Amino acid sequence: MEGIEYLYELCEALPRCVPGDNEFTRRAFSAIGKAAKQPLILDIGCGPGVQTIELARISNGKVIALDNHQAFLDKLMEQARNEGLEEKIIPKNMSMLKMDFEENTFDIIWSEGALYFMGFQNGLRRCHQLLKDEGHLAVTELVYIADNPPDAVIKYFESEYPDIDNIEGKIQEIEKEGFKLISNFTLPESAWLNSYYLPIEKELPRLNKKYEGNETALGVFEGFRNEIDFYRKYSEFYGYEFFVMQK
Ligand SMILES: C[S@@+](CC[C@H](N)C(=O)[O-])C[C@H]1O[C@@H](n2cnc3c(N)ncnc32)[C@H](O)[C@@H]1O
């Protein structure tokens, strides 16, 4: 993607790279209920790892934090050291498209807003292989949350995320890949605005100034500006759904 370095620069300045909040990470984790005593957890596309740190804090296990952008892993491990959690997190710079773990390895696989890089269905299939029997998978995925979204919204996602579907459609995919759905809930607007879009809005003036005259960089930042405006206008029609499921 042209200008990806500017996208990374913006994202590295944010607390997290996708809507979410520790409150909802904890809610999804508690839906798993009685899991292994010391679970081995894989966090796919962990980014700067707010949720990785939370998983390390609330679970009694170890978390493999997988991402292919080293700066995110560095930021995550710095935070882990600050919180005394570095023994519980193993950073792994690897593409999720080339994961070389043995099958039936993990008790829990986590992925907030990142599984779609593999394609949602393909990602489910890969996680099913990597999970132990009765292991759990928790993911957030973009969905339509209202019937009959307006044409403007349908058109937008035809280019931005053609895999988008309603919640029922995603549940069918989950079941087709051999999982039992345990719990699902929609992230509220606060998880988009407070945790993600407001921090972006705070960074944009600084970055627009820094890259004055650089059309590629300004184009990337304008894309974020437009995305936020679009969300403010149409947030009743789409959102992130947390799906917690069992193999
Ligand atoms: C939308 S961000 C979500 C980050 C994190 N889960 C969060 O909640 O903040 C997606 C993450 O996936 C990572 N990513 C993208 N493609 C990847 C790949 N092929 N392999 C591993 N990580 C990838 C990006 O570097 C980014 O950190």
The reply to whether 131 falls in a domain is yes
Span 130-150, average pLDDT: 97
Distance between CA atoms of 178 and 4, rounded to whole angstroms? Answer: 35
State if residue 161 touches ligand 1 by the CB under 6 angstroms criterion.
no
Name the domain count of the chain: 1
Tokens 């930021």, residue located: 75
Separation of CA 21 from chain center: 11
Share of the chain above pLDDT 70, in %: 100
Distance separating alpha carbons of residues 59 and 235, to the nearest angstrom: 33
What pLDDT score was predicted for residue 246? 98
Which backbone phi and psi does 148 adopt, to 5 degrees?
Answer: 50, 60
**Which two three-digit tokens encode residue 38?**
């010391």
| Residue 3 falls inside a structural domain | no
Q: Each residue of 175-189: b (16+ CB within 10 Å) or e?
A: eebebeebebebbbe
Q: Which atom of ligand 1 is nearest to the CA of 20?
A: 8
- Domain-located, residue 136: yes
Residue 170: give the domain boundaries. 14-146+161-187+240-246
Residue 224 lies in a domain: no
For residue 140, being part of any structural domain is answered with yes
155 CA distance to ligand 1 centroid (A)?
25
Is 207 domain-assigned? no
pTM of the model: 0.97
* Rounded average pLDDT over 133-148: 97
Assess contact for 162 and 56: CB atoms under 8 A: no
Nearest 10 degrees: Cα torsion 195, 64, 181, 236: 20
Number of separate helices (H) and strands (E) present in the chain: 10, 8
In a domain? residue 40: yes
User: At 40, phi and psi to the nearest 5?
Assistant: -95, 120
Q: What is the pLDDT of residue 34?
A: 75
Quick: pLDDT tens for 163-190. 999 999 999 999 999 999 999 999 999 9
Ligand 1 pocket, 19 CB below 6 A?
A: no
Report how far residue 59's alpha carbon sits from residue 37's, in angstroms, rounded to the nearest whole number: 9
Interstrand relation of 131-144 and 238-246 (parallel, antiparallel or unpaired)? antiparallel
* pLDDT per position as a tens digit, 54-86: 999 999 999 999 999 999 999 999 999 999 999
For the Cβ of 72 lying below 6 angstroms from any atom of ligand 1, the answer is: yes
**Residue 117 Cβ contacting ligand 1 at under 6 Å:** yes
Asked if residue 151 is part of any domain, the answer here is no
Average pLDDT in the chain: 97
Supply 57's token pair. Answer: 């804090």
The DSSP element (H or E) to which 167 belongs, if any, is: helix 167-176
| Alpha-helical segments (H) within 13-146 | 22-32, 50-58, 70-82, 120-130
Cα–Cα nearest to 137, from 50, 68, 43, 18: 43
Is the beta carbon of 96 within 6 A of some atom in ligand 1?
yes
Q: Which of 9, 18, 187 to mutate to test the pocket of ligand 1 (most atoms within 8 A of CB)?
A: 18
**Token digits for 178?**
């051999």
Distance 172 CA to ligand 1 centre (A): 25
The CATH number linked to 80 is 3.40.50.150
Binned at pLDDT 50, 70 and 90, residue 91 comes out as very high
| pLDDT classification of 153: cutoffs 50, 70, 90 | very high
pLDDT per residue as tens digits for the range 203-230: 999 999 999 999 999 999 999 999 999 9
Residue nearest to atom 12 of ligand 1 (CA): 45
> What's the token pair of residue 113?
């807003």
